[in-house]
Amino acid sequence: MDFKGSHILSIEQFERADIERIFEVADRMEPYALRKRITRVLDGAILGNMFFEPSTRTRVSFGSAFNLLGGAVRETTGFESSAIAKGESLYDTARVLSGYSDVICMRHPQAGSVAEFAAASRVPVMNGGDGPNEHPTQALLDLYTIRKEVASKGRSMDELRIAMIGDLKYGRTVHSLCKLLKVYNNVTVTLISPRELQMPEELVEGLREVGHQVVVTDQLEGSINSDIVYSTRIQEERFGSKEEADLYRGKFRLNQQIYTKYCEPNTVIMHPLPRDSRAEANELDNDLNENPNLAIFRQADNGVLVRMALFALVLDVVDGVDKYSSDVNWYRPE
Ligand code: ASP
């Protein structure tokens, strides 16, 4: 695809070569993300960061990625602080805000809303999560992490075995990840969830259509001996009430004892975060924190690299990143 000026709305828009291109650019961003070099390539550019649902990592890492490329960030968070609360349409908001920004990142509770906004925007729009639908930049950083983690263990992406656990019905990160895994060969995907929260059928079919093995189960024990286990949070905000979400919370807990018993010694543990650490949920126990295969914080760090790569590609400055770079002046711990 031609990245220049493109919206990033769905995983469906990428082919394998596009993904390789994003990851190759992401690798080149490492000295900047690690503050070994600074670049001013986006000096003067403005990111409009519009988050109408809670977010820590996605919002801050989009903003940090843009700052690290030398650009400035304007934020709108929550409907109550935006004119949408006065009845303004997505169309009008997009027409107006795209006049103030060079690129916009948006999160919104309704499926399809970011695409609707993008259709009226005069600048590229990136989907930071549209309700239960998709979270394409998360899936890209997840895949980037999976590739790095399996490579460090001498394994390849084709023949990958991955177990996804938790709320697979409403979890947009696993929806996008299932779409993304279709570019590889012979992947085995084990989908572990309560029956009521199973992965949507069309996504399961999509995996099967490309020849992947899919196992659907409600049992954690015996199903997590994979290269990757990808745990997810019960998406409480998509349920009718907290009480309804409580029915499923805490059903699938991973701790060191279960890991030792059921996982392979090198199984990599991932989670898009936030992990729900309340006692009634505790989906990834703190006793895994010292497990070297717990990749959740490396995964979060990778979000900056992948988002820098997407900005550099969409704003067409990949070659300028090094050109406009210089040494760092301040002290940084190693
Ligand atoms: N942060 C991810 C998302 O926004 C995962 C989660 O919230 O559970 O979809």
- Is 57 among the residues known to form the active site? yes
Instruction: List the residue whose alpha carbon is closest to atom 2 of ligand 1.
Output: 272
Distances (CA, A) of 121 to 8, 50, 110, 116, 312: 13, 13, 18, 9, 19
* CB 303 less than 6 A from any atom of ligand 1: no
Instruction: List the residue whose alpha carbon is closest to atom 4 of ligand 1.
Output: 129
Distances (CA, A) of 291 to 148, 225, 255, 264, 267: 17, 16, 10, 13, 10
CATH entry 3.40.50.1370 includes domain 11-134+300-327: yes
Region 230-239: what's the mean pLDDT?
A: 96
Which of 7, 59, 107, 172 is flagged as catalytic? 107
- Is 135 among the residues known to form the active site? yes
- Is 58 among the residues known to form the active site? yes
- Range of weakest confidence among 59-68, 86-95, 226-235: 86-95
pLDDT of residue 16: 94
* Dihedral (CA of 170, 128, 121, 317) sign: negative
Name 152's bridge partners: none
* Dihedral (CA of 103, 51, 9, 115) sign: negative
Instruction: Kindly list the domain boundaries of the chain, sorted by start residue.
Output: 11-134+300-327, 136-297
How close is the Cα of 233 to the center of ligand 1, in Å? 8
117-150 residue pLDDT tens:
999 999 999 999 999 999 999 999 999 999 999 9
- Is 86 among the residues known to form the active site? yes
How close is the Cα of 325 to the center of ligand 1, in Å? 33
Please give the Cα distance from 142 to 271 (Å, whole number).
9
- When pLDDT is cut at 50, 70 and 90, the band that residue 320 belongs to is very high
Which CATH code is given to the segment(s) 136-297? Answer: 3.40.50.1370
pLDDT of residue 158: 86
pTM of structure = 0.96
* CB 271 less than 6 A from any atom of ligand 1: no
- When pLDDT is cut at 50, 70 and 90, the band that residue 88 belongs to is confident
Atom of ligand 1 nearest to the CA of 128: 4
* CB 108 less than 6 A from any atom of ligand 1: no
Let me know if the fold of 11-134+300-327 is the same as that of 136-297.
yes
Show the tokens assigned to 164. 């996804």
Please give the Cα distance from 56 to 86 (Å, whole number).
26
How close is the Cα of 173 to the center of ligand 1, in Å? 7
How close is the Cα of 224 to the center of ligand 1, in Å? 22
Atom of ligand 1 nearest to the CA of 171: 9
DSSP structure string for 199-223 = PPHHHHHHHHHTT-EEEEES--TTT
Asked whether the predicted pLDDT for residue 85 surpasses 90, the reply is: no
Do the Cβ atoms of 106 and 126 come closer than 8 Å?
A: yes
pLDDT of residue 155: 87
* CB 172 less than 6 A from any atom of ligand 1: yes
